[in-house]
Amino acid sequence: MDKLKFKLVIAYDGTAYQGWQVQKIGTGVQEKIEAAFGKMFPGVQRIHSSSRTDTGVHALGMVAHVEIPRAEFKMPAGRLALALNAFLPDDIRVLSAVRAPARFHARFDATGKQYRYFIWNHPAMNPLLQNRAWHFPVKLDLAKMRTAAKRFIGKHDFRSFAATRSYEMESNVRTMTRCDIKKSGAQLTFIIEGDGFLYKMCRGIVGTLVQVGQGKIPLGTVAAILASRDRRAAGMTAPAHGLVLWKVYYARRAR
């Protein structure tokens, strides 16, 4: 069957969802988007994403691709995002939907991802950031955290910072290209970029950096924690609701 391929950029508030993927119990964001497609294009069975996100995690730049039977697609391509949003709940939005080459794959063509984690570091929580930032009322040593963050950059085995999955990963080695902490008033923004991420790895890194900022984990132990390849050696896992999949990167194809 002749099909048209589209690349989608999707944003969602993950508060009400059990992550991205279609779930046996509970609702995944993917399920809602596939239902919207099904109302317009019965031939669409599945959309394929660049990433998975966990329960309660948000996204601003999730990328997915979909194949629509050409015979069913009877609208201008520029109207697809608008049409989909009419069938989606307010906490999920397709930001863009553009034609993609037949060979494009949202997951396998991705060259890197950026996650951002938000902390409100003040005795009183900002009510406008409820469900969007981790309220950490204890003062943190930002200088120590920034120094420790630099130690994550490079190619490492990140097993110490990932939660256990029900299956063994082929490799736990990833290359991190950025680990910055920005401060704006009481809000701390952790910007973490790399070629890929293990299960709950970003949240393990943020939790560990926070405990460095508290003085509970010595600044100089990050290298030893990485080398141990043991989750028990690292710090806590930061809560899901502060994490956002910010952007997915793709290589520019030569014309």
Q: The tokens of 13 are what? A: 């508030």
List the end-to-end C-alpha distance of the chain, in Å, as a whole number. 27
Burial label for 1, CB within 10 Å (0-12, 13-18, 19+), is exposed
Q: The tokens of 247 are what? A: 């952007």
User: Would you name the residues annotated as active-site residues?
Assistant: 54
Phi first, then psi, for residue 167 (nearest 5°) are -130, 160
* CA dist., res. 242 & res. 156, Å (int): 24
Strand (E) or helix (H) holding 194: strand 187-194
Residue closest to 195 by CA, chosen among 148, 244, 241, 251:
251
